[in-house]
Structure 1
Amino acid sequence: MKQNKYDNQAFFEAYKEMPRSVKGLEAAGEWHIVKEMLPDLQGKAVLDLGCGFGWHCRYVKEQGAQSVIGVDISENMIIQAQAMTDDPEIFYIKAPLEEVSFDDEQFDVVFSSLAFHYVEDFSAICRQVYPYLKPGGMFVFSVEHPIFTARAEQDWHNDKEGNHLHWPVDHYHTEGLRETSFLADNVQKYHRTVASYMNDVIQAGFRIQEVEESTPSAEALEEIPEMKDELRRPMFLMIAADKR
């Protein structure tokens, strides 16, 4: 059974207090990179897998997308997204990403933000997405970086005073389930290598156009001193590919 922590009310209330939940995309540390990887959205049909509060759905509509569908496994997420959205051309569907189904060549863009590391079989997602896209359509997604997901602890190695000494990486090539802590214990994520992400995309038939690893924006480095530690290791991996 697929884990759905976001419909645990205590977990969801904690998630609602996170900066990216309160302030939206501009509080997402990777957004300044991701938005530059998106294609021209004017008149496009867009699918958002793991839409959360619908921030990206509303953004692409503001950029001229003709229609937008957001999918999320969490009822809490869908209710929140619907409450924050006032646009009849944005539709939300409550369903696991792996179980939703759409017509062939229905979309110009399929997007996902920080959802696929919760999915056990990423290669199946890639094969699922490929027929949804029109020829030349774009598949753009972000995930937690494999350097971040390799260890279940997902944390710095600190000295006795709590200063960050280094970010340890171990069991990198051992892919699969990690039981981690994120707002709660026993959160299930799936680790895979950078090579696996890229090869799964390629083997599904896509052509990779761009690969990025997150760094903080100049504004974030200036405004938040502790952001300098985000230059020591990437927290997010982002890939843009097209349907050949």
Structure 2
Amino acid sequence: MNYSVKETYNKLANDYEHNVDTKSLFNTEYERPAMMRLLPADLKDKRILDAGCAAGWYTSQLVNLGANVTATDISPKMVEATKRRIDENADVLCLDLEKELPFEDESFDLIVSSLVMHYLKDWSKPFSEFRRILKPNGTLLFSIHHPFMDIKLSENGNYFSTEFLVDQWKREGKLIDVPFYRRPLQEILNETLAYFSLVKVVEPQPTKAFQLMEPDKYERLMKNPHFFIGKAVRNK
């Protein structure tokens, strides 16, 4: 699975670097504004892990807010794109989140993971590692596909199962297979609660700018959530 995701995002890296980060309304006017509103007010000198950084949009934002950022991605091409974006202003590593992370215990104030966890079948390893490397009262902020969206792509129709799916995205004139895992809401919540205290759940809504540019999609998103955001804290 990790090999498939790595290869998929190697193919998508150029599109993310030059198109998604500026032109995709689902990112610029939907997921990202909601995530940014949930960040702590003061990030100056805070140590932050951008877990699954893609082409480095969040990495750049966090650096600009004064944080000391380490960014990781499983795709070497995405890592290269992030390095081009942020130059020497953050550490950028090619890592698999399903394996042990090369960071000391209690070394991060905040972990941001944007639209990553649905690519992982088993959350126990990454969540246990996130908990290990977060400081006491440190925060995990993550977004994923909303289970109400993914069930529409289900092959078995069993909402309560964890199911491997392959979607197709049209990017730069090509169809690209994108593998991921669908899971029910109770599993999302219970997996999170096994390692953290859940502070807030957000089902984001698109911005008014989204409405002006894509009114039909805006209306659909106002009635049918596309993403899910969780904000959680590591207790002592």
Q: CA deviation at 1:68?
A: 0.5
Mapped contact 2:54–2:78 kept (Cα < 8 A): yes
Which sits farther off after the overlay, 216-225 or 121-130? Answer: 216-225
Structure 1's unaligned 5+ residue stretches are 155-168
Corresponding residue for 1:97? Answer: 97
Name the SS of the counterpart of 2:30 in structure 1: coil
Structure-to-structure mapping, 1:198-217, within 5 angstroms: 198-204=189-195, 206-217=196-207
Name the SS of the counterpart of 1:172 in structure 2: coil
So what's the TM-score if we normalise by structure 2? 0.86
Corresponding residue for 1:158? Answer: none
Compare CA radii of gyration and give the structure with the larger one.
Answer: 1
CA deviation string 1:21-70 (max 9, x = no partner): 558997252112111111131220000111011111111111121x1011
Structure-to-structure mapping, 1:45-84, within 5 angstroms: 45-65=47-67, 67-84=68-85
Number of residue-to-residue matches in the alignment: 225
Partners in 1 of 2:24 and 2:149 — Cα distance?
Answer: 24
Residue number among 210, 216, 219 corresponding to 1:220 in the alignment: 210
Mapped contact 1:30–1:214 kept (Cα < 8 A): yes
Name the SS of the counterpart of 1:210 in structure 2: strand
Residue number among 141, 151, 160 corresponding to 1:173 in the alignment: 160
Name the SS of the counterpart of 2:43 in structure 1: coil
Structure-to-structure mapping, 1:116-131, within 5 angstroms: 116-131=117-132
Structure-to-structure mapping, 1:27-42, within 5 angstroms: 27-39=28-40, 40-42=42-44
Name the SS of the counterpart of 1:98 in structure 2: coil
Q: CA deviation at 1:101?
A: 2.7
Q: CA deviation at 1:120?
A: 1.1
Which protein is richer in helix relative to its size? 2
Corresponding residue for 1:161? Answer: none
Change (3 A) 1:16 1:24: farther
Partners in 1 of 2:158 and 2:70 — Cα distance?
Answer: 37
Change (3 A) 1:145 1:188: same
- Whichever residue aligns with residue 131 of structure 1, its letter is R
Name the SS of the counterpart of 1:231 in structure 2: helix
Q: CA deviation at 1:230?
A: 1.1
Structure-to-structure mapping, 1:101-116, within 5 angstroms: 101-116=102-117
So what's the TM-score if we normalise by structure 1? 0.83
Partners in 2 of 1:24 and 1:223 — Cα distance?
Answer: 9
